[in-house]
Amino acid sequence: MPDTNQPIINRYFEESVRQLEAVHQSQKDNLNAAARWLGEALANDHWLYAFGTGHSHMLAEEIFYRAGNLGRANPILDDRMMMHKHAIEATYLERKEGMAEEILSHYPVEAGDVLIVASNSGRNAVPIELALLGRERGMKVLAITNLTQSTAWPSRHPSGKRLCDAAELTIDTCGVDGDACLDLDGLPGKIGPTSTITGAFIVNAIITGGIEHALSLGHTPEIFISSNTSGDDHNDKILRKYKDRVRHL
């Protein structure tokens, strides 16, 4: 049982570490499999894509244009599914059938690419349909989701599938139902969400493992270097090469 007499920050730290440890221990085989997928894709000149709705869109941004991460990484971002314009509307739109095909049509995905789809609940229509579409198009589709929450609630997709059913490979964030993990007297619900912490670890673990695997196959992936160090000239070459391919550049 957690020690509720501890300061709340200590409790949040310990619960975050517990979940990260659970991911590292229980998901290592799937993390390694995802890294192999990515390494093989990169070695064959394919791309990494990532998509998420609501706060999970941050995991799509995590792969993109970042020091130490890949040049051949393309986030699937739709303002309607994010928090910075119409957050209330986004909550309902992610449940709407038929949007995923229109969203994916803006990106030059190909068979052999790797697609990460992130959804904490794994129950809403748009991420489920995007995963299914990715598989139809020959992509290797990986889900990042909270299986505790996903299996506790019914799917909002007419097929009855959850994101974990739609993807070829699933990595569990090992979170709690509802994401927020701490009780505090006087509040009607829990506080302290953790899915961004574990999700960002999972994404970057896959990328680092994928880069290592690509190197073992004799391929050197293009990576960005911090533009706040000596990276500008190095990065400019990658940006010129891929500007027409990556719409968010």
Domains belonging to the chain, first-starting first, are 8-242 (3.40.50.10490)
Gap between the Cα atoms of 73 and 60, Å rounded = 10
User: What was the pLDDT predicted at 194?
Assistant: 97
Lowest average pLDDT, out of 72-81, 136-145, 175-184, 191-200, goes to 72-81
Query: Between these two residues, 81 and 167, which has the higher pLDDT value?
Result: 167
**Residue-by-residue DSSP string for 171-189:** EE----TTS--B--TT-SS
In the structure encoding, which two tokens stand for residue 26, read together? Answer: 């229980």
User: What was the pLDDT predicted at 80?
Assistant: 82
At 200-211, the pLDDT tens digits run 999 999 999 999
User: What was the pLDDT predicted at 44?
Assistant: 97
Gap between the Cα atoms of 67 and 238, Å rounded = 13
Q: Is the pLDDT of residue 168 over 80?
A: yes
At 211-244, the pLDDT tens digits run 999 999 999 999 999 999 987 999 999 999 999 9
In the structure encoding, which two tokens stand for residue 28, read together? Answer: 């290592």
